[in-house]
Structures are given as C-alpha cells and as structure tokens.
Amino acid sequence: MGTKNTKYFVAVLVALWIAGTITWLQCVGASLLCYIALGGHHTIWLAYKTLPRDLVAGVRYLRLRLLVRWAQGSDYCLADLFERNVVKNPYKVALIWEGKKWTFKQLSDYSNKVADVLKKKNLKKGDCLALVMTNRPEYVATWLGASKLGIITALINYNLKHKSLYHCIAVAKANIVICSHDLVHSVLEVQPLMPGMQVLVSCCNGAPLPQDTPIPYVSLDAELEKASAELPEELQSVHFSDKLLYIYTSGTTGLPKAAVITNARYLFFCGAVQFLADLHHDDVIYNPLPLYHTAGGMVGMGQVLVFNATAVIRTKLSVTQYWPECVQYNCTVAQYVGEVCRYLLNSPPQPTDTQHKVRVMFGNGVRPQIWEAFTSRFNMPVIAEFYGATESNANIMNYEGKPGACGFLPLLFPKAYPVTLIRVDEHSGLPVRGEDSLCVVCKPGEPGEFVGKILPSDPLRRFDGYADTEASSKKIVRDVFRRGDMAFLSGDILVMDEVGYVYFKDRTGDTFRWRGENVSTAEVEDRLSHAADDADAVVFGVEVPGCEGKAGMGVVVASAASLQQRLPQLLASLRRDLPAYAVPLFLRAVADIDTTGTFKLRKVDLQKEGYNLPSLLKSPEEDGHCLFFLDQTCQQYVPLTSQLLQDILHKKCRL
C-alpha cells in the first residue's frame, strides 16, 4: 500500500502546515488524497465494508467489559448475581421442564438446601463434587447450591461408562458423587476403583435405592427434606475469581480433560452471547442441549442465572418436538449445535416450522451448505453462530447471521481484540515462525490455527487451564505477537476472508466431532485395540456426505476373515466401554500399520484412503470383505459392499 511513501508525503505536508504555507484543513485533505493515491483506497474500501459491523460489535463488547468490570469490582460470584435476580423477581419462572415450572425462588431454595446438606457432610470451599445427572431443574440447582459454599462441581457426561467415567471423577479429585436415580448403576460399575467414595442419590421419586452394595449410598431427597432453605453465610467468602465448575473437553491426550471454569469465565461466556446476540431479560430460551456441555449448561443456562431470562429444558433432545415446544412455550430464542440444525432440516415439514416466535438461534456448528436452506424453511431471522472452546480465551461470534461464518476479526483495529490465525506446519502441527522467531499471521484465504493472546490480569483474556497442569501447558504457545507473550492454542484450523469473516475448516490433533460431541481418537483406539486382543489399531474421522462433522473409522491389524468373525464380540465390547457417538461407524482390516521413527502408528495415509472401496479393493472378489459398516438397521457391523457404499454416498442409508 506504499506505507513508506505515504508517511513521507504526510510528513512533508505537516511540515508545510507548521510553516504556515497551508492550512490544517488543506493538510488533512492533501494527506488523505496522497494516502488514496498511494494505495490507501483499500483501507477506505475495507472501512466501508467492515466499519458498521465492527462498531456495533465494539459497543456490545464494551457493554460486556463493563459488566465484567462491575462484577469484578463488586467481587460478585455467580451465586451473588443469581440471588440479585431472586430478590428482584422471586416468582418469575426460571426453568420449564416437561411441563413443570420452577420459579427463581424455588431454584434458590433448593440450591440453599443442597448447600446445607453438603455443609453437614463437612465439604468446604475448594472441595469438589462430581455431578452425574440427566437434564432437569435439580441438575442446575445442585451445582448452584455447591457454588454457594465455594465447592467446585465437575459436570460429567452422563453417557460415560467404566474407565472414562472413573477418569472424570478421579481427575477432578471429587470428594463426593451426586447422581440421579436412573444413573446409579453407571456409578456402581466404577465403585471398585474408588472405595469409600460416598454417593448421594437424587431424584428418586420414591423409588428404592440399590441394595447389597458396598457403596455408602445416601438419599439426597431425604436429606433435603431436613435441610435449611436459608442462604448460607459461606457465600460471603466466595469470590469473583474462584473456581466454579469443571467442564470436560476431549483433547489429543485421550481421555477427557477437566477445563477450569471460574465465576469470571462463566460470566464472560454467557455475557458475550447476551450482548453480541442482543438477547433480553424477558426472553424465553429453548435449550434442549445437555447441561454438562458448555453450550447448554453455561452459555444457555447463564441467560437465566445471570440475565433473568426463562429457559425451557428437556431430558433429551426431540427433533419432532423442537418447534412444537417453541410454539407451546412462546420461545423467542433457541439453541442448537450443528447436528440439531441438520436433524431439523431433515425432519418432515409441519405447521410449527413457521408458527414459532423465535427471532434468533445461537450455537455452533451449522454447516455452510445447509445455512440458507435452514433459515428459509424455518423463517429464522438470524442464526448467531459462535466459535470458542470451553477453556478458550479466543472466542468470536457471527451476530449478523453471515451464512457459513463462525465469527469475524476486526481488520481495521486488530489490537482491540487480540485473536488471530497463525500458520502451522501441515505435518507436525507446530506453529510456523518467521525470521524474527515470532509466529506468522495468516493472510486472507490462508488456513491457520486460531489463537488468542493471554493476559492473566484481564478476566476476558485469561486462560484458566485444566485440572491437570501438564495438559494446560500444552495449550500455550509463546512469542506469538511479540517476544515474551503467550497465546492459547485452539487446536482448530480456520480460514478468514478478505473482510474478516472467519470460517471453520478442520481440527488439528487427534480429536474429531460427531453427533455434536468431541471424540478422542486416542481413547477409542485404546478400547478398539483391547477389544481386538491388543492388536495395533488407529482411529480417525472421515467425512460422510450430508453429515455434520466426521464419522469414526477404525483400522485394525488383522485378517479380514478373523475380524469379521469377531465383529459381534468386538461391537459389544465397544458399546460397553464407549458412548454411542464414539463407536466407529467404519472398520477396516489391514495386514500392517506403518510406524514412525519413534514407534508411533501412522494414520495419515490411512485417513486419506478413508472408506473409498475402489482404491482399497484388490479384486472384485474382495468386495466389502476388508471394510465393515455399522448398520443401524440391524445394529451390527456388515461388509461394506459397493452397493452399500453407493447408498451411503447418496444418503440412502440411515447413519
């Protein structure tokens, strides 16, 4: 853009102005003309394209910063903010679940009773409890009550079993487990690994507790009947920066990692969506997502706890009831993950598709290919797509509803929000560095890893990490913008267009997304190898036409005949040890898997081959005998034949 020449001419003009040869107005006008003549017209064009967007976002971001600063200055924790809403409108409906309504006062009273029970169990600030419960009002009230004592709650995915469930409880160093009655047996299965762990069983509804078990079960319902509903005095000792929750995220190391959520981070996440998506305190939010997720339990539920909205929650997502319930409860806002939008678009048309009053949907993961078809069919004014990991300080949002974009970067004022895309090596995944040893910032159209500058003193720019300190250090890169600084590595590859809109491209490392869940390949590889008599095995994600994310594909060192013979037992083992979404959709038998110089199994070439039959079959007789597909109709692995492959490619096969 001729920056040096521009500076030279401007300097000359300023000198002339000082000397009195020209007026300041002439100086400004001449400088502007010089700037445009030397290439500055691009900046003018960029301002025309992006300035209105960036100014609106800037004002909304400023409101977020003011809220966070106010809460920080007042040293308010989440429970303090919630109780302010209880005082303002105790009888306003906070939650609706299966037709039952909970007011803010009911939610407060239940949470106070939970705090009283935990206090009598000698739990104190800094201790941790593990919460294993399906979606219901008691779920929110339980961890909210624990927070009033400064107790950290680990929100555990209720689909987990065996090793994964035990790991999540153990890594959080939980002192106690609270589970709903319908999940007692999942907790019972890991009992031998945590002897002496006390379990409180909630939501029994009069059902008897399991008998003849060494676990000291206690009915939380019975304890609550005797508990006090008074606000605990210990709330005065809970601070803005204290830990609030552990929310689990899959990483490249295998089993789930417990991301630290402080009161400050919770406020930042839900506040960002509140202001950027322009939500209101009188909104009714349809939130059918799992409450152990960041999206459902923090971003969505925060609109209730912090901003005084009402939320409709469900035990489990129902595609057929999504829009009818939005109509039934007069919802004005709705939540999604990418899979939800695809499910809804593939469902049969019904009158409620356009009878609802939803003015904005927010979430993450809508595929660009279905964006416009979705908004058209369901008469949706705005999809506010956001991007950001649970533990990340690098978060963006597409509040305008730009099709396909997950957010944008302010190109004219990059320092106002220090997040960017950096080049990474395609093979090693490590950041590429320039001659100055700093990371190389990507240009428009160039894929790169999304990073956010870490500022420990700023609540919005901090990285609180994981319960595992070693795992935290692996997510930090140094010397990014300048020497000595630090940034958070998202692990995701994004690409930016010429006006700053950012689009998701792929995930780095050993994690892929399927059915709205993060799947750790290392964990699935471990279980697949074990189920195949400790044979070498690798797992990766493969794209399936018409599906959000990537489906799991496992490759096992075995003969096709032997693998086919043991498929029933192998599938039973995988289903016993893994959540349903993590069980590989495809299996392949190979004679050998290449290794690296450090004896790590190589999967790059296998991933490129995927499940492409023509490139894998050596002769027509082998049709389908080295590849197997998890048929949802018969619930078993079957040979992947050419005809079955065509059905999958043409979306004729249910996945």
pTM for the whole structure: 0.80
* Residue 351 pLDDT exceeds 90: yes
Q: Is the dihedral of CA 20, 24, 25, 30 positive or negative?
A: positive
| 20-24, 171-175, 188-192, range with the lowest pLDDT | 20-24
Secondary structure (3-state) at 653: coil
> Tokens 């919630």, residue?
82
Bridge-partner residues for 124, per DSSP? none
374-414 pLDDT, tens per residue?
999 999 999 999 998 778 888 899 999 999 999 999 988 88
Report the Cα–Cα distance between both ends of the chain, in Å, rounded.
52
| Mean pLDDT taken over the chain | 85
* Residue 501 pLDDT exceeds 90: yes
CA distance 511 to 250: 7
The pair phi, psi for residue 239, each rounded to 5°, is -115, 165
CA distance 140 to 655: 33
* Residue-level pLDDT at 600: 61
- Which of 523, 581, 573, 532 has its CA nearest to residue 555? 532
3-state SS string over 6-37? HHHHHHHHHHHHHHCCCCHHHHHHHHHHHHHH
Eight-state DSSP code of residue 193? G
614-630 pLDDT, tens per residue?
655 544 444 446 889 99
Residues 6+ apart with CB under 8 A from 567: 587, 628, 636, 637
Using 50, 70 and 90 to split pLDDT, how confident is the model at 611?
A: confident
649 or 335: which leads in pLDDT: 335
Percent of the chain at pLDDT > 90 equals 48
CA distance 527 to 576: 10
CA distance 380 to 335: 12
Residues 6+ apart with CB under 8 A from 521: 510, 511, 512, 538, 539, 540, 541, 552
* Residue 4 pLDDT exceeds 80: no
256-305 pLDDT, tens per residue?
789 999 999 999 999 999 999 999 999 999 999 999 989 999 999 999 99
Secondary structure (3-state) at 355: helix
How many residues belong to the chain? Answer: 655
314 or 518: which leads in pLDDT: 314
Using 50, 70 and 90 to split pLDDT, how confident is the model at 532?
A: confident
The answer to whether residues 150 and 124 touch, using CB atoms and an 8 Å cutoff, is yes
CA distance 395 to 270: 12
* Residue-level pLDDT at 33: 58
* Residue-level pLDDT at 286: 98
Q: Report the DSSP pairing between strands 217-219 and 198-202.
A: parallel
Determine the residue type at 358.
V
The answer to whether residues 54 and 410 touch, using CB atoms and an 8 Å cutoff, is yes
* Residue-level pLDDT at 456: 86
The answer to whether residues 546 and 341 touch, using CB atoms and an 8 Å cutoff, is no
Percent of the chain at pLDDT > 70 equals 87
List, in order of start, the domains of the chain with CATH numbers.
3-73 (no CATH), 78-316 (3.40.50.980), 411-458+471-507 (2.30.38.10), 511-649 (3.30.300.30)
* Residue-level pLDDT at 455: 87
State the average pLDDT over residues 73-96. 97
116 or 20: which leads in pLDDT: 116
* Residue-level pLDDT at 624: 45
Using 50, 70 and 90 to split pLDDT, how confident is the model at 597?
A: very low
Helix runs in 256-382, H state only: 263-276, 302-305, 319-328, 338-346, 352-355, 368-377
233's tokens = 């005095």
* Residue-level pLDDT at 185: 83
Burial class (CB in 10 A: 0-12, 13-18, 19+), 209: middle
Cα dist. 156→165, 263, 319, 369 in Å?
A: 8, 18, 24, 33
Helices 567-577 and 521-531 cross at an angle (nearest 10°) of 140
State the average pLDDT over residues 427-445. 88
- 3-state DSSP percent of the chain in helix, strand and coil, to 5: 40, 25, 40
